[in-house]
Amino acid sequence: MRYFGRAALCCTFFNCTASYAGIMLNDIDVQTYRDFAENLGNYNAGAMNVPVYKKEGSLSDYLRFPVPDFGGVSSSGYATLVSPSYVLSVKHNTGYKTVEFGNGAGYATAYRLINRNDLSTQDFHAPRLDKVVTEAAPYSYVSKADFLSDYKSRYAWYTRAGTGTQEQINDEQTKRVRLTGAYNWKSGGTISAANVRDISNNSYLRYYNLGPDDADTTPLSIGANAGDSGSPVFAWDDIGQQWKLVAVHVGYDADSGLYRKRAVAGYIPGDFVASVEAANTSPDVVDRAGNGTVLWNDDAIKQDGVSWSWSGLTSAYASVAPAKASTSELDATKDLRFNGDGGLITLSTPINMGAGKLQFSSDYTLTSASGVNAT
């Protein structure tokens, strides 16, 4: 994670330093934080009022919210799925080229970044992936303007998960003990809503890791640390009754020692994310019942004199897997939705959508034109 010194708070120059680790409470077992982040044990997605126990077996508190489904957080913690083929993270993390989901599950798919889609005005990006993610469901997100308009009343709970360097306060509460370096395993926990309300500003969501005796502490209180850049902050929407992505970690701007290390997370530039997706989406095909067969040709999709464009891989990839295409070739392909009345679509040529997502919003039957062997 990045350190935002005082000068960095009033200009655009940021210092990058080695920071200390993800900070867990001294009286809660590390395995509890790990289980929460991976939805294991008692922490199944959607479970309500789950008890949190201290190391010695006594009750610490209950999680008075539905446990989030963290399946859409990448296995390495620094990217979050918000659309079937897009993740959100920070642009200063230039090292990663792929993302996986499933927390190290065997035979997990590696999804390749084909366009980082860096935002010039913020430490943020919305990478496009080379194919649709099938192991996890995307999260809804809240744009910066919408979040700032009512975050002090609408969101009662905050949580996070990540794979940054892991540390825990020792039993004597005198120091932070390093457990492992970054990207080895996930931990997750809760963030104080009171903190978020009191110390966030129009630029960043901010919060402290808090000790067990702090008036604002929460069960499974946790901080964010080195290697957690890009990891998500989720908020429970009391109106929508669901968890939503509201920010991604970018660094920290204060560290008072044992507790009260102040994490900094950037809000979601919703207009930018929407513009990235729109640029990679073809206009809907709006076919009409009674207008005959929809003909899908190499250059266009047509029905009864009406034509729609589509963007896939060239005919050179007619019988070749999209994975063989270059990143630029894949990024030139676009999502496509058939959003009409439904019916018969006849393919006059083999179709390879590349990285493009194909969606049918009605009942369609696809067939190959005679003698073409189109699939």
pLDDT at 146: 98
* 3-state DSSP of the chain: CEECCCHHHHCCCCECCCCCCEEECCCCCHHHHHHHHHCCCCCCCCCCCEEEECCCCCEEEEECCCCCCHHHECCCCCCEEEECCEEEECCCCCCCCEECCCCCCCCCCCEEEEECCECCCCCCECCEECCCCCCCCCCCECEHHHHHHHHHHHEEEEEEEECCCEEEECCCCCCEEEEECCCCCCEEEEECHHHHHHHCCCCEEEEECCCCCCCCCCCCEECCCCCCCCCEEEEEECCCCEEEEEEEEEEEEEECCCCCEEEEEEEECHHHHHHHHHHCECCCECCCCCCCCEEECCCCEEECCEEECCCCCCHHHCCCCHHHCCHHHHHCCCEEEECCCCEEEEECCCCCCCCCCEEECCCEEEEECCCCCCC
pLDDT at 230: 97
Catalytic-residue membership of 69 = no
CB 135 within 8 A of CB 102: yes
Q: How far is it, in rounded angstroms, from Cα 208 to Cα 285?
A: 49
pLDDT at 122: 98
Q: Single out the catalytic residue among 92, 192, 228, 231.
A: 92
Catalytic-residue membership of 130 = no
Reading the chain (375 residues) residue by residue, the pLDDT tens digits are 666 554 333 222 233 333 334 689 999 999 999 999 999 999 999 999 999 999 999 999 999 999 999 999 999 999 999 999 999 999 999 999 999 999 999 999 999 999 999 999 999 999 999 999 999 999 999 999 999 999 999 999 999 999 999 999 999 999 999 999 999 999 999 999 999 999 999 999 999 999 999 999 999 999 999 899 999 999 999 999 999 999 999 999 988 888 989 999 999 999 999 999 999 999 999 999 999 999 999 999 999 999 999 999 999 999 899 999 999 999 999 999 999 999 999 999 999 999 999 999 999 999 999 988 887
Q: Residue 354: left (phi > 0), alpha (psi -120 to 50), or beta? A: left
Domain boundaries along the sequence of the chain: 2-275, 282-368
Catalytic-residue membership of 229 = yes
Range 2-275: architecture per CATH: Beta Barrel (2.40)
pLDDT at 4: 57
> What does residue 55 show for φ and ψ, rounded to 5 degrees?
-55, -40
Q: Single out the catalytic residue among 35, 83, 89, 123.
A: 123
pLDDT at 14: 34
| Residue 309 CB neighbour total at 10 angstroms | 12
Q: Single out the catalytic residue among 19, 74, 76, 229.
A: 229
pLDDT at 340: 98
